[in-house]
């Protein structure tokens, strides 16, 4: 019986498995065997780590997804976009964009057991998606640790009584009306934030950064040292830390809700948070805000989810994890709103102003409005310490996920760096480089640069990356094959999992790409019609152009690396394209757990090797 060998499959030769990285389909006649010398690795690379248990992975993902955006962004978006009505577009976007893309990233990382770049062995044409994810994570990590530095600064200042941003502090006496004691012409917390922390009052804009704020520089250095130490021991050690960092914010939120419920005006704050304006559902802005919050809070497209899932065991139930993490994260956002607005309601009652005048978003909520509200509570120093400890744990978990996406991508591309000494040097150089670049963001005009990077690093570039990721898996790799991969990982797939796979399949092929195109169109429309502001400062055209360039650099990697992949192949343009979208054999060997023996020669088989043998021939 003659042996039959399919193109691209491993070939057994005298008990040795020989593989070609690219399955060949060249029409030109060539010798039966092309033998090329391969230089063996001088030293074997360190084996890839795995999570100590499934709960460590779940808590790490929850800590990564539940971040500062849940505290300072979602509650503000909720009341700005119709209150409780905002939950309708929010959960619609969760069902049709958030959950499908979340499962796609988790499944891709777990099945391929590789980081954001190497995982695209499943479709080499789309390697640029991984490179784009790497750049997005780098930009986010650059400014995100600045937030942790601000948190460190406020945390240190919280061990004072009275708090330095309260009206009880002597230096704030000119800002507060001593006559009534419960209102102020100017916010003492805003003066503390702008003058003592940022120093932004001494800068006139992007072109005038001014000197570095050295107290913040020290806090930023400490923040990067913390991240370096978390990353150094790998996921085996960091997986133990998340038992505290991922659960502590929930305890603080519960305590803050209980405390807020006892305050005067808290009911008005919650009523304001949940007030319903049904007419807002007609606005495209509401739907775009819902989608952007889903992406921002779930960390979709940053590469962190994919990297963390790559350390999972092959048979982990990714569908169960998707439902637990994504829905849990969204419920946390809604839950956090009660803690925030109950205390802001008390602040509005004390100042005798509407709740809308004390609500804010972004850094303004976390470092101006909420600290001012905490300063009005009895035992304000204790509540302030508790709040900024929560902010610190939220920030560290999220930044760890971003940095994990960066380091996993690099270590998978260069496995020799996994060796302990090399990994230490690499992580040290990476963190120190981010620290030096981050110094621009803690100058007197650094908040202008911070806002610019925040606005454009996760804008249209991130949507384009996720759009191509969805299209690439659905139409190039093949949605049927991807669904089979998921079922293979789950092994004994429960009936409810099988039905959900069909739902996700419909999303990946049609619903999710259409919604992503709608979001992308609206982002470009909004970018053209509106200007970027920080307070009263309007960004110049060159600043806006710089932000657009930031977003373009991330998504332009997709066509650039696609061109590289096509140029590396041989044959006609059609042949090159077909080869570039075909998975490499090493994509399968990483997941089937088959023992592949490395030999010093790679044998490339051609079409003639797979021709049917003549009748009557015998096996050699």
**Residue 604 is labelled as binding a ligand:** no
Residue 612 CB coordination number (10 Å):
8
Helix-helix angle 380-413:235-245, to 10 degrees: 160
CA atoms within 13 Å, Cβ hemisphere of 249: 28
Long-range contacts of 370-374 (CB under 8 A, 24+ apart): 370/340, 370/343, 370/344, 371/154, 371/163, 371/165, 371/189, 372/165, 372/166, 372/187, 372/188, 372/189, 372/190, 372/347, 373/343, 373/344, 373/346, 373/347, 374/163, 374/343
Instruction: Return d(Cα 594, Cα 596) in angstroms, integer.
Output: 6
User: Peptide bond preceding 369: is omega within 30 degrees of 0, i.e. cis?
Assistant: no
User: Peptide bond preceding 162: is omega within 30 degrees of 0, i.e. cis?
Assistant: yes
Do residues 396 and 241 make contact, with C-beta atoms less than 8 angstroms apart?
A: no
**Residue 180 is labelled as binding a ligand:** no
Q: List the structure tokens of 209.
A: 């950064």
Per the rule left: phi > 0, alpha: psi between -120 and 50, beta: everything else, 313 is beta
Instruction: Return d(Cα 219, Cα 591) in angstroms, integer.
Output: 43
Do residues 331 and 337 make contact, with C-beta atoms less than 8 angstroms apart?
A: no
Do residues 373 and 348 make contact, with C-beta atoms less than 8 angstroms apart?
A: no
DSSP3 helix / strand / coil % (the chain, rounded to 5): 70, 5, 25
Give how far Cα 32 sits from Cα of 2, 35, 98, 223, 601, Å: 17, 10, 49, 59, 15
Instruction: Return d(Cα 372, Cα 370) in angstroms, integer.
Output: 5
Question: In this structure, what DSSP letter does residue 82 have?
Answer: T
Residue 243 CB coordination number (10 Å):
14
**Residue 297 is labelled as binding a ligand:** yes
Q: Which of 431, 82, 389 shows the shortest CA–CA distance to 256? A: 389
Residue 185 CB coordination number (10 Å):
8
Element at 408 (helix H, strand E): helix 380-413
Do residues 145 and 153 make contact, with C-beta atoms less than 8 angstroms apart?
A: no
3-state secondary structure of 604: strand
3-state secondary structure of 215: helix
Q: List the structure tokens of 354.
A: 């509407």
Instruction: Return d(Cα 450, Cα 442) in angstroms, integer.
Output: 9
Q: Which of 134, 71, 204, 139 shows the shortest CA–CA distance to 456? A: 139
Do residues 311 and 110 make contact, with C-beta atoms less than 8 angstroms apart?
A: no
**Residue 70 is labelled as binding a ligand:** yes
**Residue 402 is labelled as binding a ligand:** no
- State the binding site: 63, 66, 70, 297, 329, 394, 397
- State the binding site for Na(+): 63, 66, 70, 297, 329, 394, 397
């Amino acid at each position: 019986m003659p042996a039959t060998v399919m193109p691209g499959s491993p070939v057994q030769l005298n008990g040795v498995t020989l593989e070609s990285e690219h399955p060949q389909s060249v029409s030109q006649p060539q010798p039966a065997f092309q033998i090329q010398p391969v230089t063996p690795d001088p030293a074997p690379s360190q084996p890839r780590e795995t999570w100590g248990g499934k709960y460590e992975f779940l808590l790490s993902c929850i800590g990564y997804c539940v971040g500062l955006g849940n505290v300072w962004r979602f509650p503000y978006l909720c009341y700005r976009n119709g209150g409780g009505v905002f939950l309708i577009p929010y959960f619609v976007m969760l069902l049709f964009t958030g959950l499908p893309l979340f499962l796609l990233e988790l499944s891709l990382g777990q099945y391929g057991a590789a980081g954001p770049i190497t995982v695209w062995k499943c479709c080499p044409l789309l390697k640029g998606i991984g490179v784009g994810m790497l750049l997005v994570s780098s930009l986010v990590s650059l400014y995100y640790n600045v937030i942790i530095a601000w948190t460190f600064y406020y945390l240190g200042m919280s061990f004072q009584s009275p708090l330095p941003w309260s009206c009880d502090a002597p230096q704030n006496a000119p800002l507060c009306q001593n006559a009534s004691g419960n209102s102020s012409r100017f916010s003492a917390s805003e003066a503390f934030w702008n003058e003592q922390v940022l120093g932004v009052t001494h800068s006139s804009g992007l072109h005038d950064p001014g000197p570095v704020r050295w107290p913040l520089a020290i806090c930023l250095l400490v923040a990067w040292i913390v991240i370096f130490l978390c990353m150094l021991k790998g996921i085996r050690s960091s997986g133990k830390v998340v038992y505290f960092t991922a659960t502590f914010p929930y305890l603080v939120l519960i305590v803050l809700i209980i405390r807020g419920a006892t305050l005067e005006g808290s009911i008005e704050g919650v009523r304001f948070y949940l007030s319903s304006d049904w007419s807002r559902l007609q606005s495209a802005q509401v739907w775009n805000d819902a989608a952007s919050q889903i992406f921002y809070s779930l960390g979709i497209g940053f590469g962190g989810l994919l990297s963390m899932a790559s350390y999972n065991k092959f048979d982990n139930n990714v569908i169960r994890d998707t439902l637990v993490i994504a829905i849990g994260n969204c419920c946390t956002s809604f839950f956090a709103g009660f803690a925030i607005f109950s205390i802001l309601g008390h602040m509005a009652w004390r100042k005798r102003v509407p709740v809308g005048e004390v609500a804010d978003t972004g850094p303004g909520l976390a470092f101006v409005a909420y600290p001012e509200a905490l300063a009005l509570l009895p035992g304000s120093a204790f509540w302030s310490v508790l709040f900024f400890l929560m902010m610190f744990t939220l920030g560290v978990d999220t930044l760890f996920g971003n940095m994990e996406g960066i380091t996993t991508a690099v270590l998978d591309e260069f496995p020799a760096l996994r060796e302990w000494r090399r990994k230490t040097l690499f992580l040290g150089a990476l963190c120190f480089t981010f620290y030096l670049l981050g110094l621009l963001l803690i100058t007197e005009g650094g908040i202008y640069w911070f806002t610019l990077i925040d606005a454009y690093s996760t804008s249209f570039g991130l949507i384009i990356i996720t759009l191509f990721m969805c299209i690439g898996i659905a139409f190039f790799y093949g949605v049927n094959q991807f669904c089979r991969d998921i079922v293979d990982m789950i092994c004994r797939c429960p009936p409810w999992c099988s039905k959900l796979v069909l739902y996700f399949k419909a999303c990946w092929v049609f619903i999710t790409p259409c919604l992503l195109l709608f979001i992308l169109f609206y982002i470009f429309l909004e970018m053209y019609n509106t200007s970027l502001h920080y307070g009263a400062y309007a960004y110049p055209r060159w600043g806006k152009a710089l932000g657009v360039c930031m977003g373009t650099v991330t998504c332009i990697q997709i066509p650039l690396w696609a061109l590289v992949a096509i140029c590396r192949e041989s044959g006609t343009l059609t042949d090159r394209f077909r080869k570039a979208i075909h998975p490499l054999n090493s994509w399968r060997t990483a997941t089937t757990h088959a023992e592949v023996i490395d030999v010093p020669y790679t044998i490339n088989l051609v079409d003639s090797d797979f021709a049917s043998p003549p009748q009557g021939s015998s096996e050699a």
